[in-house]
Amino acid sequence: MMFSIINLLNLEIYLEAVIMAHALSFYLVKRGRYALRLAFGTIVFGTAAYLIPLVESPVFWLTWSYSVLMYIALLGLTLLSVVFCVKASWTECLFCAVGGYAAHHFAGTVTTIVSDLLSAESQELFSFSNILLQIAALFLTYSVILLLFYRSRNSQVFMNRKNVVLLSLLIILLNIVLSSLTMLSDRYGYPRIHATSIDLYNFTAGFLAIFILFGMLERGKLEREAEIINNLYRENVRQYEVSKATMESLHDLKHQVNALIAGKTALTEQERKEITDRILVFDSMVKTGNDTLDIIVSEKKMLCHQYGIDFGCMADGKRLDFIEPHDLYSLFGNALSNAIEAVSKLPEDAPKLIFLSVTGKESYTAIHLENTFSGDLKMEDGIPQTDKQDKAAHGFGVKSMQRITAKYHGTMTITIKDELFHLDILFHRN
């Protein structure tokens, strides 16, 4: 009887672990004939799990060692199932296997704890009420874990983090070792550990392994976003220096060309007009009272001229002197770039307008940017979501703006009304 129960338990452990493991392999490349491989692997590896017997020895340490190896073998069979069906790195496959085993372990512990609080009947291993309880625990545990996993758009990237996977594996292995030790200690006459303590330990170990594997996905996502935003910021700094140098060169060019026009009578009137028009475009600097704002607004104004976009600006740049030049360039650079990109996509006959204002009163400074807009825009946490295919590499301009706004204790809001996109930033200086 004991032999058959162990067989069923091993098969149950394998199936519960392998279901979650393959659910976690969602983002990974599947091998050819995946469904057939999955069915065949489940039969083969499930049979292997079922055939693992319980071996007991008069020597405690031998029985304990075998028990540890038995559970490690079940984890290994789960890993083999993933490797057999999925074409991925060993770290990704191990992530799925460890995640599946940890999820099973946690759900099983929850079942045991709740079962201990119920009647004696529910504590029978294969009683109807205990089976229902186990199904409910599995459903809730797996649903929460998969929700955490799938909500992270870049989960497949973080599945390759070896340190996270190996740490979770170490916790699971340590839990297998200690759980086997506590379960066998009473049978061999060693001091018995209270069942409640074992359950609490198993619960904590399972939760910790799950948190490390799946909680770190969200942290990894935030770390990657921060890295991209920092790279974007550094690029904005570089562009600011280039733009500043370019504007200074163009200003010098204006005087040189004016001197050339004045001294060279060989130029035709048409040539003079063309040169003068180009100078006017390059020298169409909006005098705001802030050198950095002058550079970025002038640069974007030239770009608007190329796209046939009407650009208006009414800005008191002196009210932005409290913002560092690089932050100011990044803030307005991203805002105006997004506006130009949106307006340039409008149909030819649609109005193409962008208007920027910087105003203030006393300790308040308000930035308002609006542009014509068409279509739907999905918002998430007050931030418009990018419509580009590679969402992992785009959409960080607005987050960079949000970070800079928060740095100077401001608030940023985005609204769409009457086919106009509105960006408002308000700073309050004490």
Name the token pair of 208. 């910790």
Would 265 be classed as within a structural domain? no
pTM of structure: 0.50
Local confidence band at 184 (pLDDT 50, 70, 90 cut-offs): low
Question: Does residue 254 fall inside a structural domain?
Answer: no
The residue out of 172, 206, 223 marking a domain boundary is: 223
| CB-based contact 50:7 (threshold 8 Å) | yes
Of the candidates 208, 223, 238, which is a domain's last residue? 223
- Inter-residue contact 275 to 261 (CB < 8 Å): yes
How many CB atoms within 10 Å of residue 220?
A: 18
b/e code 341-369 from CB counts within 10 Å (16+ = b): ebbeebeeeeebbbbbebebeeeebebbb
**For the chain, what is the domain count?**
2
State the amino acid at position 53 in one-letter form: P
Let me know if residue 291 belongs to a domain.
yes
Residue 237 lies in a domain: no
* Residue at 248 is within a domain: no
Q: Which helix (H) or strand (E) holds 190?
A: none
Higher pLDDT, 187 or 12: 12
Full residue range of the structural domain in which residue 195 is found: 2-223
pLDDT digit string (tens) for 319-369?
999 988 878 888 898 899 889 988 988 988 889 999 999 999 888 999 999
What's the CA dihedral at 392, 393, 394, 400 to 10 degrees?
100
State which of 18-27, 210-219, 269-278 shows the largest mean pLDDT. Answer: 18-27
Provide the token pair at 86. Answer: 């999925």
Give yes or no for residue 198 having a pLDDT over 80. no
3-state secondary structure of 354: strand
- Is 281's pLDDT higher than 60? no
Q: Are strands 364-372 and 29-30 parallel, antiparallel or unpaired?
A: unpaired
My answer on whether 217 and 293 are in the same domain is no
Asked if residues 16 and 104 have their Cβ atoms less than 8 Å apart, the reply is yes
| Residue count (the chain) | 430
